[in-house]
Amino acid sequence: MSDDPLSLPIFLRLSGHPVLVAGAGRIAARRLERLLGAGARVTVIAPEATAAIRALAEAQRLDWQAREARTDDVAGYRLLFATTDDPAVNAALADAARAAGVWVQRADAAGESDFLVPATVTRDTLQVAISSDGRAPTLTRILGARLESWLPRAYGDLAALAGEFREAVRTRLPRAHRGPFWTRVLDGPIAETVLAGRTDQARVELARAIDAAAAGEATPATGEVYLVGAGPGDPDLLTFRALRLMQRADVVLHDSLIQPALLDLVNREAERIHVGKRAARHTLAQERINELMVRLARDGHRVLRLKGGDPFVFGRGGEEIAELAAAGVPFQIVPGVTAANGCAAYAGIPLTHRDYAQSVVFVTGHLKAGALDLSWPELARAGQTVVFFMGLKSLPVICEALMTHGLAADWPAALVIDGTTAHQRLIAGTLDDLPARAAAETITGPTLLIVGEVVRLNATLGWFHPDGEPGA
């Protein structure tokens, strides 16, 4: 750890203030974008300029003087950005600026600058700045890019909404009550309503909350359910929205197929309840799960219902939200990468392909009373891919039925086991021999059956090899 003092992070209000930029290259162009966004009156002095800077000058958004910068140019400005290619010129301009009481930023020498320009992430009026005090600018840029992807754009709407009601809260609530009130708003259901894209509804709810707080009314506990698709297994396939809600939850109801690595990303303080159903092993009946979600939400909890794949693709998500809607419980739905898409992609098997399959069909392979009541003539067709979910136990029945209804015995088929995870395996074969191949293996993880000519493409397109060895 360095013993040198750190810079003081400050946000400057530059609207209407004069700023000088010496140089008109790539670095200057980056500075100009932010200076103009801050409303500064910018003068650029340089004999040549990039096309972008010329366009800004032609649009009269800045004053460009096509000549070399001189030391007597610096007086009268609030800030100087020295971005020329000549360190000696930058140093001379900096000395003259300091003598005139102007603060200096040198693009070629962070250590010789009076201030630094941090990496920033902007969401409307919300700005997040990152600095390494000039020691690791590339690291600040990398972290800025990551925050750019992690921070939902709706946080700008949330900041704007808070600003809209700031004066009302200041005038109507005692000082001691304002902080707790804003905490409830900005980390509660109203904020979540904004982040879900329902700003107008949030505005109404915030106005009501202010009225209630001003009247001294207790705020009732209000909860919500997040129905989130966790994808087929690889945590990298989570959506940003899914990850954000996973980290906000108070209680988590999760299925058996949720990988431990996914649960590790959930709020560590959240209560975890396993409600999984797998084959004939049911931890909780579906009706009990529905009742539990309603009860927890009514108790004021943020309930995460975490489901493998996508909640609306053989995930019974429709049944669960129907129960929530009937009970008047607020909920959000976050789609996930389906097992079909994820497993096929990681196995190198395109679900559609111009030469082999012009359509794809998703089917449940779950047996009912030992039989599958499916439209076999519609499934046993060339030119399409058929994906069977939960089809391991019924694999012999499926293969036999497809051959009976017209597909050849050598029609390609494959089982993807533990798809997208470090344990992924592929058993490829034909309708005739795949059941025997599968029976010869020990299979404990979730499986997906893919039937169609596209299965052949795995031999050349298979790219994901968790064990480091190419091949099935």
Task: Return binding residues for S-adenosyl-L-methionine.
Answer: 232, 308-310, 313, 338-339, 390, 419
Picking from 149, 145, 161, the residue whose alpha carbon sits closest to that of residue 198 is 161
Q: Taking phi first (over 0 means left), then psi (-120 to 50 degrees means alpha), and beta for anything else, what does residue 266 get?
A: beta
**Could you list the active site residues?**
255, 277
Residue 367 in 3-state DSSP? Answer: coil
Alpha-carbon gap, residue 62 to 57, rounded angstroms: 5
CA nearest neighbour of 435 among 418, 415, 416, 421: 415
Q: In what order do the strands lie in the sheet with 302-307?
A: 271-274, 251-254, 302-307, 224-229, 331-334
Known binding-site residues equal 26-27, 47-48, 232, 308-310, 313, 338-339, 390, 419
Nearest to 388 by CA among 313, 293, 443, 331: 313
Strands lying side by side in the sheet with 384-389: 359-364, 384-389, 447-451, 412-417, 425-430
Q: How far apart are CA 52 and CA 41, in angstroms?
A: 17
331, β-bridge pairs: 225
Closest CA to 117 of 156, 144, 153: 144
Specify binding-site residues for NAD(+).
Answer: 26-27, 47-48
**Cα–Cα separations (whole angstroms), residue 17 to 48, 78, 117:** 24, 7, 17
Residue 302, beta-bridge partner list: 224
